[in-house]
Amino acid sequence: MQRTADDLLGRNRELDAACALLQRAPVVTLTGVGGVGKTRLAQAVTAVEGARRVAVCELGAVDEPDAVAFALADALGFPSLDAALVGLGRVQVLLLVDN
């Protein structure tokens, strides 16, 4: 696996494991207590997976459950939730959802 110049210090095993999971599964979830580097690891995975289109959805500022779908549609570049529902099956993208 080709690395970026911005490798995670001491986290290559976790990076390799996350990338391997992503090759086998459509969804990979990184879990752990706050501050352990989940976001940084996810960002490194997107860098390694650079051949794919990457979309980032930050949910930290979303305070209403109903707004999550709109935030995801926006991150994926759809102008509306209806457009997302119609076009989602045709999109090939690595979606990073954080917080």
**How does pLDDT run across 57-79, given as a tens digit for each residue?**
999 989 999 999 999 999 999 99
CA 26 – CA 94 distance, rounded (Å) = 9
* pLDDT for the residue numbered 3: 47
* pLDDT for the residue numbered 51: 65
* pLDDT for the residue numbered 1: 47
DSSP one-letter code for 11:
-
Span 7-60, pLDDT tens digits? 577 788 999 999 999 989 888 999 999 988 899 999 999 888 776 788 999 999
Res. 6 pLDDT band, cuts 50 70 90: low
Helices (H), the chain: 12-24, 38-48, 67-75, 81-87
pTM of the model: 0.78
